[in-house]
Chains A and B, each alone.
Chain A
Amino acid sequence: MILVIAEQDAGRPTALSLEARAVARATATAAGLPLEAVELDRDGAPPGDRAAALGRLIAVRRPLAVIGPGSDSATELLAHVAARAGLPLAANITALDVGGSGAGRPLQLTRQRWGGTLLEDATIEAGPALFTVAPHAVAAEPVGTAPEPLPVSLDVDGVAGDGLVRLVERVPMGTEGVALEAAPVVVGGGRGVGSAEAFGMLDELARLLGGTVGVSRAVTSAGWRPHREQVGQTGARIAPDLYIACGISGAVQHIVGCRGAKRILAINTDPDAPMVAAADWAVIGDLHALLPPLLEAIRDTR
């Protein structure tokens, strides 16, 4: 049996859960194994009780593989399960092959490293083994296109979670405007913007286009903008219709954060910058000379 962890928001499976289900389905179908699912509310509950209950379930049902979404919450939960039960966990897989019915054979997996700029082929002992699926690396299984996995209920009665971590408060962030991850347009700024003041041009461009500003790590390290605006491996992963990258050279750690953009326009003085190579359109020049007349031209179209 293959067990998939399905996280739900307001009773509907999350997008990442449908990606996990796609990998779990492909794995189960290829091996001729049944697919079962544990459904969990994504409610911020600390993982202790659920980890203990899931560990008990795994010990009883002995799935060959447990596959969860690559969300923060599911990753944390599966890390607890793996640690408590002494099982291996491989994070960020994109494919899994459990072979035929031959028990005892190691499972073959492919997982992401370096934010997906590198892939690792690896083997793992099924005893059983736990996995999370890399976010936005595989197509989600559309709801209703395949039989629903058989639901398995998770019984948290009488489990011994650690009981020491309590969710005590939910506090709004107090940020305004368009959320970076959901913005239709992101105007990105890098070291080439040159100063905190010069970001005023990018703020206005974003406002005119109904988007928001995102920045590279160089910019947050310089203290020009807050970290919540950072795009990249250690910041936000964005997926706008258009990403306008101004003065960003395009280190791989940045590219992994913006490769979900449908279109990229790069403005950079260096024609050989990786950001230019990753773009659909580019202006090879100084953003400080281009942006003022561009803002004026856009205002004129209104």
Chain B
Amino acid sequence: MNVLVCVKRVPATGGRVTLTPDARAIDTSLLGFTTSPHEECAVEEAARLVEAGGGTSTVLTLGPEAAIEQLRDAMAVGIERAVLLETDGTEWGPAATAAAIADAVRARESADGEPFGLLLFGNEAADSADYQVGVRVAVALDRPCVTGVKRLDVGAGAVRAWRERDGAWDVYEMPLPAVVTVREGINLPRYPSVPGRLRARRKDVERAPARRVPVADAVLTRLRLPAQAEHRVEILGTGPEAVPPVVEVLRQLGLVGR
């Protein structure tokens, strides 16, 4: 089965973010970039499916030329082919992104002469968290879709997708070809090996301009940081001498007895 996995390049934030002067983006001058966490797991799942069942694996991203870095990260853990749908670096909304991806999938499948059995997405991107690109691509291609998946069992011509609801699994079955959006936890992504990284650096990346169709997406006016409540921390100590005040805190909260 041929598997396509779609990823998004996002800033590797960790601490407090700062904004660009026009407040329309995160200031990334001091930040690295990474792949959204759910999508790292989607990449791992694609690599495992093809290792176990044969076929080809392809990674696709819509973004600036610099997003080749994320495509190479995916190839370093075993994805074979990479496609960049190149933008000018401006942010695309979810409907525009999905339309361009659906287009590229159609073009690729017609060139390959067979459909991808599975299109894998992250459930939502770390930055914009639109929760819809995978579903929009599925609807555009008229394929079944399950979102938020944390376990995938591929059988002959069909797939079982497991997702959590209220402390139990809902198990869905759908025919292939299909679309799945995955959540972190579906697997533990491997670390790329050094030979894997070297191989990925030498591989070709297919590039095509992303085709933008007019669609209605929300249009960003500005970003802002939420107001922070005034807050003071009380230091209870630096070592074992802090045990009595910690126990006193637990007592005040009714968590231990007298």
B251 partner residues in chain A, CB cutoff 8 A: 301
* Interchain CB contact (< 8 A) of B226 among A91, A119, A175, A276: A119
How many Å lie between the Cα of A209 and that of B247 in the bound state? 11
B257–A281 touching, CB < 8 Å: no
Question: B31 interface residue, CB < 8 Å from A?
Answer: no
Q: Which of B46-54, B80-88, B103-111, B129-137 lies at the interface with chain A?
A: B129-137
B13–A124 touching, CB < 8 Å: no
B124 partner residues in chain A, CB cutoff 8 A: 91
How many Å lie between the Cα of A276 and that of B238 in the bound state? 13
A90–B218 touching, CB < 8 Å: yes
* Interchain CB contact (< 8 A) of A235 among B13, B136, B184: B184
A242–B255 touching, CB < 8 Å: yes
A119–B224 touching, CB < 8 Å: yes
Identify the closest chain A residue to B150 (Cβ). A227
How many Å lie between the Cα of A89 and that of B218 in the bound state? 8
Knowing A162-B144, A234-B183, A252-B13, the reply to whether A124 touches B172 (Cβ < 8 A) is no
B175 partner residues in chain A, CB cutoff 8 A: 164
* Interchain CB contact (< 8 A) of A165 among B140, B144, B249: B144
Knowing A123-B219, A171-B169, A173-B169, the reply to whether A278 touches B231 (Cβ < 8 A) is yes
* Interchain CB contact (< 8 A) of A79 among B135, B162, B244: B135
How many Å lie between the Cα of A89 and that of B217 in the bound state? 7
| Contact indicator per residue, chain B 106-147, by CB within 8 Å of chain A (1) or not (0) | 000000000000000000101111111001101110111111
Question: B95 interface residue, CB < 8 Å from A?
Answer: yes
B146 partner residues in chain A, CB cutoff 8 A: 46, 165
B233–A281 touching, CB < 8 Å: yes
B129–A127 touching, CB < 8 Å: no
Question: B26 interface residue, CB < 8 Å from A?
Answer: yes
How many Å lie between the Cα of A297 and that of B247 in the bound state? 7
Question: B225 interface residue, CB < 8 Å from A?
Answer: yes
Identify the closest chain A residue to B136 (Cβ). A83
Question: B37 interface residue, CB < 8 Å from A?
Answer: yes
Knowing A162-B144, A230-B185, A263-B253, the reply to whether A173 touches B167 (Cβ < 8 A) is yes
Task: Enumerate B239-256 residues with CB–CB distance to A below 8 Å.
Answer: 239-240, 242-244, 246-247, 249-251, 253, 255-256
CB distance from A130 to the nearest CB of B (A): 9
| Contact indicator per residue, chain A 31-51, by CB within 8 Å of chain B (1) or not (0) | 000000000001010100000
Knowing A173-B169, A228-B185, A234-B37, the reply to whether A75 touches B131 (Cβ < 8 A) is yes
How many Å lie between the Cα of A171 and that of B218 in the bound state? 38
B224–A121 touching, CB < 8 Å: yes
Identify the closest chain B residue to A114 (Cβ). B127
Q: Give the interface centre of B145, B225, B249 by most chain A CB atoms within 10 Å.
A: B145
B184–A274 touching, CB < 8 Å: no
Question: B234 interface residue, CB < 8 Å from A?
Answer: yes
Question: A168 interface residue, CB < 8 Å from B?
Answer: yes
Identify the closest chain B residue to A242 (Cβ). B253
Knowing A120-B223, A124-B218, the reply to whether A171 touches B132 (Cβ < 8 A) is no
Question: B14 interface residue, CB < 8 Å from A?
Answer: yes
B148–A209 touching, CB < 8 Å: no
Question: B209 interface residue, CB < 8 Å from A?
Answer: no
B136–A116 touching, CB < 8 Å: no
How many Å lie between the Cα of A133 and that of B217 in the bound state? 17
* Interchain CB contact (< 8 A) of A166 among B14, B169, B173: B173
How many Å lie between the Cα of A129 and that of B226 in the bound state? 25
Knowing A277-B233, A280-B234, the reply to whether A79 touches B126 (Cβ < 8 A) is no
A111 partner residues in chain B, CB cutoff 8 A: 218
How many Å lie between the Cα of A83 and that of B179 in the bound state? 14
A91 partner residues in chain B, CB cutoff 8 A: 124, 129-132
* Interchain CB contact (< 8 A) of B217 among A88, A165, A281: A88
B222–A124 touching, CB < 8 Å: no
A26 partner residues in chain B, CB cutoff 8 A: none
A124–B243 touching, CB < 8 Å: no
Question: A298 interface residue, CB < 8 Å from B?
Answer: yes
Question: A61 interface residue, CB < 8 Å from B?
Answer: no
Knowing A92-B129, A298-B256, the reply to whether A171 touches B221 (Cβ < 8 A) is no
Knowing A72-B165, A167-B172, A173-B167, the reply to whether A79 touches B218 (Cβ < 8 A) is no
* Interchain CB contact (< 8 A) of B139 among A80, A129, A175, A227: A80
Knowing A171-B168, A277-B233, the reply to whether A283 touches B242 (Cβ < 8 A) is yes
Question: B174 interface residue, CB < 8 Å from A?
Answer: yes
Question: B9 interface residue, CB < 8 Å from A?
Answer: no
Question: B216 interface residue, CB < 8 Å from A?
Answer: yes
Task: Enumerate A64-117 residues with CB–CB distance to B below 8 Å.
Answer: 72-73, 75-76, 79-80, 82-84, 86-92, 106, 109, 111-117
Q: Which of A140-148, A151-159, A190-198, A288-296 lies at the interface with chain B?
A: A288-296
- Listed by A's residue number, 15 A-B pairs whose Cβ atoms lie within 8 Å are A42-B165, A44-B170, A82-B95, A83-B140, A114-B129, A167-B170, A168-B172, A171-B171, A209-B256, A235-B184, A242-B250, A251-B15, A277-B231, A294-B247, A302-B257
